[in-house]
Amino acid sequence: MSAEQGQRQIRCLVAKVGLDGHDRGAHVIARALRDAGFEVIYSGLHRSPDEVVQAAVQEDVDVLGISILSGAHNTLVPKIMDGLAEYDALDDTMVIVGGIIPDDDKAFLREEGVAEIFGPGASMDEMIDYIRANAPERR
């Protein structure tokens, strides 16, 4: 039956957390993801970890992309991961981080459960291909 075939579409949340007003990058990425055929939810600026968790849980996104340029990633990202776990959303939400992350911190973030980190110079295609290949398989 045609109605049972289903039409899966990758959903992404592009989130800006904390006191960081630089959203040009997030805008560019949101557009690129849209043009790649994804459904993109943009959080807006200055979101708290709780708000990001709320959005990720309710929207049931496959991918949560956190953009942080403030340097507070070691504090904010674990809070988000904990929140996702609280709502049973950690296992099937792929979290990726974009921004300026020192090499030393990258290992820590990966330990926290971040799937991939994209720094300055990462290309859009690289990111889109990564999401297509790794978006969590559901059901």
Q: What are phi and psi of 8, to 5 degrees?
A: -85, 140
Note whether 47 binds another protein by CB under 8 A.
yes
> Which of these ranges, 18-26, 36-44, 103-111, 114-122, lies near another protein under the rule CB under 8 A?
36-44
Q: Give the one residue of 17, 19, 60, 94 binding another protein; rule: CB under 8 A.
A: 60
Note whether 122 binds another protein by CB under 8 A.
no
Note whether 30 binds another protein by CB under 8 A.
yes
The per-residue b/e assignment along 28-41, b for 16 or more CB within 10 angstroms, e otherwise, is ebbebbeebebebb
Q: Cβ distance 84 to 93 under 8 Å? A: yes
User: What CA–CA distance (Å, rounded) separates 1 from 15?
Assistant: 38
Residues of this chain that interact with another protein (CB under 8 A) are 1-9, 11, 30-31, 33-44, 47-48, 50-51, 54-55, 57-60, 87-89, 91-92, 138-139
